[in-house]
Amino acid sequence: MAQTVAMAPSKWWRPNKKTAIKTSLVLVVAIFLYLGYVLNYQWVLIGWCRGQPRYKGLPSDYWRVRVQGYESWIRNPPIGANDSLVAQLYYLTGISLAPQPPFRDEDGELLGVLLVLIKDSDPQVRSCAAKYLGSIQPTTDEAIDALILGLDDPPTNWYSLLGLEQCGPAAKKALPKIIEEFEKWKRLHPPPGPELARSPAEATQLANRYQGQMLSSDAGRALQSIDPEEARKRGITLKVPP
């Protein structure tokens, strides 16, 4: 009769103190690597060491990486991740495939972080910072100064104009740059000449249409919001095409 050989229990399941310490160290390192390279939490430590402004307790470097991830997904979503698929997945499971925006509008606690991000080397980060900077009310001189500088930066120009428009009369110091932007727009979009009209009625229609174009331009809206009187002097009225 064959004898059954009893197998000794594996040491893995009954570790000694030395093995338990090694296993614990491996788990700690694995968790650290996961937090660092998957969730980007290594930037939290770096930002804290640099003494950066914080939002929700997390420093600017962390939010920089969050913004980059969000903007990259929005501009270049994964293959097959179209709007229909994202909507259907959310409807069936309640899970959103698309990343959530890193910030929310009109959040005054964002100011310190945004003032850092708008000077970032990445144009996507700068444009995102400019987009949210103008929404913070009441506005501050630091925010207005940053948006004025953003007018000379092509990636942030549009968002800076929009932000200054949201600031309204408080952005009076931006008026010279806004006027410069508006005059640049007029040079690129000259008014229609009288020779284009076949009748006085058509001339009036073309003039009104051009008024609407001036008023709806980015620089024109900002100028109207900051100083309506200066906008009127520059030819902008509230008249819109019929």
Backbone φ and ψ for 59, nearest 5 degrees, come out as -75, 175
Q: Is the pLDDT reported for residue 168 higher than 60?
A: yes
Q: Is 55 helix (H, G, I), strand (E, B) or coil?
A: strand
Which tokens is 146 given?
């940053």
DSSP code string of 152-170: TSHHHHHHHHHHHHHHGGG
- pTM for this prediction: 0.72
Q: Position of tokens 């009225």?
A: 237
Report which DSSP code applies to 193: P
Q: Is the pLDDT reported for residue 161 higher than 50?
A: yes
For residue 8, what pLDDT is reported? 52
Question: pLDDT tens-digit profile of 217-239?
Answer: 999 999 999 999 999 998 887 65
Q: Do the beta carbons of residue 189 and residue 213 sit within 8 Å?
A: yes
Question: pLDDT tens-digit profile of 50-108?
Answer: 788 999 888 998 899 889 988 887 777 766 556 665 556 555 655 566 678 889 888 88
Beta carbons within 8 Å of 140's beta carbon, 6+ residues apart: 111
Q: Position of tokens 């100064």?
A: 145
Question: pLDDT tens-digit profile of 174-227?
Answer: 999 999 999 999 999 888 777 676 787 777 887 888 888 888 899 999 999 999
Beta carbons within 8 Å of 132's beta carbon, 6+ residues apart: 103, 105, 107, 110, 114
Angle 166-170-171 (CA atoms, 0-180°, nearest 5)? 70
Q: How far is 168 from 227, CA to CA, in rounded Å?
A: 8
Confidence of residue 139 (pLDDT cuts 50, 70, 90): confident
The region, left, alpha or beta by phi > 0 then psi within -120 to 50, assigned to residue 57 is left
How would you class 242 by CB atoms within 10 Å of its CB: exposed for 0-12, middle for 13-18, buried for 19 or more? exposed
Q: Position of tokens 């914080």?
A: 54
